[in-house]
Chains A and B, each alone.
Chain A
Amino acid sequence: MSKSCKKIEHLIEPYLDDELSQSRKEQVEQHLNECDSCQMALEALKLQGGLLREEIEAEAEKVDFAGFEDRVFKRIREERPPSFAERAGAWIREVAYYYRAVWITSLATAVLLVAILVPLLSRDAGPGAGVEPETKVAEADNQVIIDSMDYAGQRSMIFTVSKNNTTVIWLYDFDRAEGQDQGDDI
């Protein structure tokens, strides 16, 4: 087996099954034109697949399906229908599988959000956190507390320094802030 055969052999089945990109397909075709043994391997695969299909189809052709649908409906009426729990179970299995991309992504997003928000929030609430270096006071009893709350539809930040009993309440409004950013404030 030549080097180029080794490169191409794992592509022969996907080629046969029409699962290759155009460029890969051309690559395989070029090799097949030059290589009898790979061409032969491809033909053998085609042959056995064709034979299997013929065999199964010939068996299926023998079957007389007259009255098949009536028999199915008859059995549907005779047999016990599945319980609600059975149907619900089937539904959950289908949803869990087909929407796995959705729920796995949602779950991952939720985990990520928790991982980011929890440390952020706990840092905001913690004493001394978020203080600019110039406002930092050496004494232990000097605490700076930053809090935030919603008030009358506005968001406010409360900034409290315990030593000189200073409290700054900063009210701000997202809409207006955005408007100013965009220079729309006429």
Chain B
Amino acid sequence: MAKDERQLVRRAKRGDEKAFRTLMERYRRKVYSIAYGMVHNPEAAYDISQEVFIKVYRYLGSFQGSSSFYTWLYRISVNLSIDWLRKQGRHDLVDFDDTLLRREPDGAEAIAVPTLQDSDPLKALGRKELRDQIAKAFESLSEKHRAVLLLREVEGLSYDEIARALKIHKGTVMSRLHHARRNLQRVLRGYMKSGGKEKRMAEK
């Protein structure tokens, strides 16, 4: 797989359009997932995906084979998505500082989800409803936290790969991931409490 991919990249570098087409077919949905995760707009995500491959095609010559093709591809996907958000004026006004948030009063480092013990959230809410809530919470995260979480949870990259893709330190990957997950849990926890109550009230 990896060898076959290197060959495809080499052929595409030499201007082989068929090889480049194969690479696009292989990665278009993954690129779209990143773009969609970053911008939450299907049309924009589709357009960004096209732009990503245009850029890849044009700059393939500068791609260094020492890293995986996909870490490079995902970096371009994240960057173009952020560019789009900036153009929309939707950049993060407050740059989240991971260290600050850790010092919150309730901020024990633990990932505590006691609500899961009390009730089965899947039964109370339904998986789709819960998924929507996670999506909403995810949307409220900052760009850089979304990017790290997407590359980890959706694309399955390792910490090292994420570090290379985003040109950040591995420690930064870990702290952003931790921060992003904690924030999702906070929203989810709040929702599960109130959501569960509403459900029970409605049933009465």
| Residues A14 and B174 in contact, CB atoms below 8 Å apart | yes
Interface residues of A in 87-132 (CB under 8 A from B): 87, 90-91, 93-95, 97-99
Rounded to whole Å, the gap between the CB of A58 and the closest CB of chain B is 8
From A12, A60, A68, A91, B24 is in contact (CB under 8 Å) with A68
| Residues A98 and B53 in contact, CB atoms below 8 Å apart | no
| Residues B154 and A95 in contact, CB atoms below 8 Å apart | no
- Indicate the member of B57, B64, B111 with the most A CB atoms within 10 Å: B111
| Residues A57 and B154 in contact, CB atoms below 8 Å apart | yes
B8 interface contact, C-beta 8 A: no
From B21, B46, B64, A98 is in contact (CB under 8 Å) with B64
B10 interface contact, C-beta 8 A: no
| Residues A51 and B130 in contact, CB atoms below 8 Å apart | yes
In the assembly, what is the distance between CA of A71 and CA of B132, in Å?
32
A55 interface contact, C-beta 8 A: yes
A138 interface contact, C-beta 8 A: no
In the assembly, what is the distance between CA of A76 and CA of B59, in Å?
12
Q: How large is the interface on A (under 10, 10 to 19, 20 to 34, 35 or more residues)?
A: 35 or more
B77 interface contact, C-beta 8 A: no
Chain A residues lying within 8 Å of B37, measured Cβ to Cβ, are: 56
Interface segment, one of A21-29, A36-44, A152-160: A36-44
In the assembly, what is the distance between CA of A14 and CA of B159, in Å?
9
Rounded to whole Å, the gap between the CB of B171 and the closest CB of chain A is 12
A81 in contact with B42 given A19-B159, A53-B153 (CB within 8 Å): no
In the assembly, what is the distance between CA of A82 and CA of B149, in Å?
32
Chain B residues lying within 8 Å of A62, measured Cβ to Cβ, are: 42
In the assembly, what is the distance between CA of A94 and CA of B63, in Å?
7
From B110, B138, B152, B153, A41 is in contact (CB under 8 Å) with B110
In the assembly, what is the distance between CA of A36 and CA of B46, in Å?
43
From A53, A63, A99, B154 is in contact (CB under 8 Å) with A53
B185 interface contact, C-beta 8 A: yes
In the assembly, what is the distance between CA of A78 and CA of B190, in Å?
50
Q: Name B's interface SS.
A: helix
From B21, B111, B132, A69 is in contact (CB under 8 Å) with B21
User: What is the chain B residue whose CB lies nearest that of A61?
Assistant: B29
Chain A proximity mask over B109-124: 1 for CB below 8 Å, otherwise 0: 1111110110000000
Chain A residues lying within 8 Å of B108, measured Cβ to Cβ, are: 1
A76 in contact with B185 given A19-B158, A56-B36, A71-B50 (CB within 8 Å): no
Chain A residues lying within 8 Å of B177, measured Cβ to Cβ, are: 13, 17
| Residues A52 and B149 in contact, CB atoms below 8 Å apart | yes
Number of interface residues of B (CB under 8 A): 57
Chain A residues lying within 8 Å of B21, measured Cβ to Cβ, are: 69
| Residues B29 and A60 in contact, CB atoms below 8 Å apart | yes
Rounded to whole Å, the gap between the CB of A69 and the closest CB of chain B is 5
From A10, A44, A55, A69, B131 is in contact (CB under 8 Å) with A55
Chain B residues lying within 8 Å of A36, measured Cβ to Cβ, are: 117
| Residues A68 and B111 in contact, CB atoms below 8 Å apart | no
From A37, A51, A73, A99, B64 is in contact (CB under 8 Å) with A99
A54 in contact with B152 given A72-B50, A72-B54, A87-B62 (CB within 8 Å): no
User: What is the chain A residue whose CB lies nearest that of B181?
Assistant: A45
B88 interface contact, C-beta 8 A: no
In the assembly, what is the distance between CA of A32 and CA of B37, in Å?
32
A65 interface contact, C-beta 8 A: yes
| Residues B110 and A56 in contact, CB atoms below 8 Å apart | no
